[in-house]
Amino acid sequence: MVAAAWLIAADTAACVVSLLCSAIAFQVEAGIFRISVIVLATILAFTVVNGIAGAYGRNGSAPPLPGLPVAVGTWPLALAAVLGFAWAIASDNQLFTVGFATTALVSGTLVLAGFRLLATRHLRAIRATGHHATSVILVGTGSAVDRMTERLHDATRAGGIIVADTIKVPLADGNIDAITAELESTLPALDVTSVIVCLPRDGYRHLAPIVDAMRDFPLDVLTDAFLLPAMPDAVVTLGGQRLVALSRRPLRDWSALIKRAEDLTLGLLLTFVMLPVMGLIAIAIRLSSRGPVMIRQRRFGYANKPIMVLKFRTMYWESGDLTGARATIPGDPRVTRLGRFLRATSLDELPQLFNVLAGTMSLVGPRPHPVEMRVNGVHYHKAVRHYAARHRMKPGITGLAQINGYRGLVDTMEKAEGRLAFDLHYVENWSIASDLDILARTVSKGFIGDRAF
């Protein structure tokens, strides 16, 4: 991801320098607007074509040198496409002379090679310091883990890999629970995105239970390619090793950036629009009952880590429950009259827009449940199998479960499992289109209902 970002920056700089220098050299009088459009269109076309051609790496690996031959080959294609289209729709051809195009082609190739070489040297320097390296956990039998550790520590093939931890388990005993328990205790303290399952060649039968045990964690689960030779489409390269991806994080690399951009863009807009409403609600709460306007409640966030979620106070301060252990029921005497209205309309959740802007929540995602929330007297996260799998994405202000009727009190296992099913479907099938659809449907289905009290 870091390598791709630097290479895209180098390509962008090469487009700008080559086109502007060519325009200056031929004293183009097309105007700054037309030239800017040509430059932006070329950057977009060149980046897209390079991405398709693999100049930014494929299957999780950085390309050699990185991808210079591919980029040099795609530069004439992108330039010809943009200039050809511009020439076809232009009323004059001042900008699109043969001299201009030839100069842009040659200078772009030279500048591109220079900038990419500089980017490569910078990436190698970063890799040598260990910054932005990929941290992995190795899980499996002792001998297989030791062999993988040696392979990843090979200085000539390491490729920016850090072995953050190892979990050695005698898999012959079927001790899968030990893996889950150690991951639960280890992951919160580590910045790890991948786990490599290390097994001997006859250990294929152990893969399924191990992958199932790791389903709850936001990790890429990988294993040696020789264990699954029939899955060539799932092969990735990490640390110079050919591995098979058994499962992937729902949001990786560009997907994570896109969702964060969505949260910031729409979150800022919604915050600006709703600020007057939040101000009026704050005044009403202050005048109607004693206590703070907002409360902070400890809830589950990304990767099962607790976060502090903001809400407007809807209960009397003397009888409120900040832990969320005691569920709110219809006619609950702890809820104020104003609080009943705020909860029924979900307006009490508006301060969570600040959580979105801070990065602890998303606009759309599984709802963050209180850490002490219970169903049938048992903690929610212990009562429902694979409950933690919903935390592979940031929690949201609204979600797929909420627009499908799972809003409010969860007092039975059926409701708990039904809500989890919708949450997991969202996590495993996320897209920008689904987010926009959920946000639109929330206005009509998610805000007002008789299940919130």
Answer whether residue 158 shows pLDDT above 50: no
User: Residues 372-393: what's their mean pLDDT?
Assistant: 77
Helices then strands (H, E): number in the chain? 14, 12
- Cα 251 to Cα 400: distance, rounded to the nearest angstrom: 17
CB proximity list for 153: less than 8 A, separation 6 or greater: 163
Highest mean pLDDT (candidates 85-94, 426-435, 438-447): 426-435
* Cα end-to-end distance, the chain, whole Å: 45
Which residue(s) pair with 167 in the sheet?
139
pLDDT greater at residue 309 or residue 236:
309
Highest mean pLDDT (candidates 172-176, 251-255, 359-363): 359-363
pLDDT, residue 61, reads: 47
pLDDT, residue 57, reads: 60
Which DSSP symbol is given to 445?
I
User: Residues 179-193: what's their mean pLDDT?
Assistant: 73
Amino acid letter for position 375: V
Confidence of residue 169 (pLDDT cuts 50, 70, 90): confident
CB proximity list for 232: less than 8 A, separation 6 or greater: none
Q: Where in the chain is the domain with CATH 3.40.50.2300?
A: 134-247
pLDDT greater at residue 149 or residue 55:
149
Q: C-alpha angle with apex 281: 276 to 287, nearest 5 degrees?
A: 130
- Cα 53 to Cα 74: distance, rounded to the nearest angstrom: 8
pLDDT in tens, 254-287: 788 788 889 998 999 999 999 999 999 999 999 9
Answer whether residue 43 shows pLDDT above 80: yes
User: Residues 96-114: what's their mean pLDDT?
Assistant: 81
Could you tell me which CATH number the domain at 134-247 has? Answer: 3.40.50.2300
pLDDT, residue 155, reads: 42
Tokens 């936001």 locate to 218
* Share of residues in the chain with pLDDT > 70 (%): 82
CB 120 within 8 A of CB 202: no
pLDDT, residue 303, reads: 84
